[in-house]
Amino acid sequence: MALRITFCCSHTKAEPWLAGFRAALPGVDITEWAPGAPQAEHAVVWSPPQQFLDEQPALRGIFNTGAGVDALLKLRLPPGARIVRLDDAGMSVQMAEFVCHAIVRNFREFDGYAADVAEGRWSYRKPRVRAEYPVGIMGLGVLGERVARAVAQFDFPVNGWSRTPKQIDGVRTFHGMAALPDFLAASRFLVCLLPLTGDTRDILNRDTLGRLTPGGHVINVARGGHLVDDDLLALLDSGHLAGATLDVFRTEPLPAEHPFWRHPRITVTPHTSARTLRDETIAQIAGKILAMERGEAVAGVVDPSKGY
Ligand SMILES: NC(=O)c1ccc[n+]([C@@H]2O[C@H](COP(=O)([O-])OP(=O)(O)OC[C@H]3O[C@@H](n4cnc5c(N)ncnc54)[C@H](OP(=O)(O)O)[C@@H]3O)[C@@H](O)[C@H]2O)c1
């Protein structure tokens, strides 16, 4: 009997994905899931309902069409299923350009120049000293490492923080909770690229952000649950932080009445820093399904005990 794959991604039209998988995996039976659908061996998902997982106890592989698996890990999973996250698939270069853009835009004061130009003013600002704007990257995984290397190309001092020790050329690395205060004190731009877990929820708060070099700028491109919104606003109002670039929020879409929308020193983008690219994603998942069927190990298998 043909290998069966079920597709359950509510945020996107199924047909182009199904066509892509049929082209990549000839002979495989892939259909969009609906309640009561036949049992499949593999699933391609984004934020599936609990009913989907309850009705698919035979799943061996659950392929998440994104890097973050926090939503999936909140659900009750079939006992024999492994969650496989997307690793890179065109996301890390997008994340690197988003973060570099945010840093360079603020470091070079491009918003200030745009305001001057809009008023017909030909003005110069004193060049800032790069060494006074060290960049701290929280999370040195698939995305964080690529971002750290990209930022280092602009000659900013770069610090990185992870759970376990890491060595990256051009990056001063720290690891573990005990090293977090030193990492923060050594950073002025702070980029969050952590997974959302029990250990990292609310990690961007009054205490941690208060340890950044004054005049700091927070870039959250991981999950809204990392940031305590009111603490960020208080530190911006006190002048300790100069600004924030936020791509992710506790509630998405960001509610119309949320103060982030109108804050003069917060830039909001609609969870768009690193989008899932369909062709790259299909190629990667198809390759992993074939490898798993041959009994080979695949990259990106999530460890539920770690939460990422
Ligand atoms: N905004 C967007 O469009 C977008 C797109 C894609 C992903 N994301 C978010 O970005 C996150 C990171 O993605 P990724 O692919 O780079 O993840 P990843 O490869 O799993 O890397 C996670 C990194 O965080 C570190 N980490 C985890 N828990 C930690 C802790 N308690 N203390 C210190 N460091 C900790 C890990 O340390 P070790 O190296 O020691 O394990 C690792 O370096 C995703 O989880 C997702 O939430 C956002």
Q: Which of 142, 162, 221 gets mutated to test ligand 1 (max ligand atoms within 8 A of its CB)?
A: 162
Residue 221, classed as helix, strand or coil, is coil
Residue minimizing CA distance to atom 25 of ligand 1? 139
Our answer to whether residue 263 is catalytic in this structure is no
Q: What is the pLDDT of residues 120-133, one digit of tens each?
A: 999 999 999 999 99
For residue 283, name the pLDDT band (cuts at 50, 70, 90).
very high
What separation in angstroms does the CA of 117 have from each of 11, 108, 128, 264, 265? 40, 15, 20, 18, 19
DSSP readout, 131-187? GG--EEEE--SHHHHHHHHHHHTTT--EEEEESS---BTTEEEEESGGGHHHHHHT-
Residue type, 40: A
On the question of pLDDT at 42 being above 90, the answer is: yes
Its pTM surpasses 0.95: yes
Position 267 pLDDT exceeds 90: yes
pLDDT digits (tens, 9 = 90+) for 218-250: 999 999 999 999 999 999 999 999 999 999 999
Q: Which of 82, 223, 258, 278 is catalytic?
A: 223
Catalytic residue among 76, 271, 278, 294: 271
Phi and psi angles of residue 56, each rounded to the nearest 5 degrees, phi first? -125, 60
Q: How far is CA 15 from CA 22, 43, 52, 164, 278, in A?
A: 10, 15, 19, 41, 12
How far apart CA 50 and CA 72 sit, in angstroms, is: 9
Active site residue 108: no
pLDDT of residue 11: 85
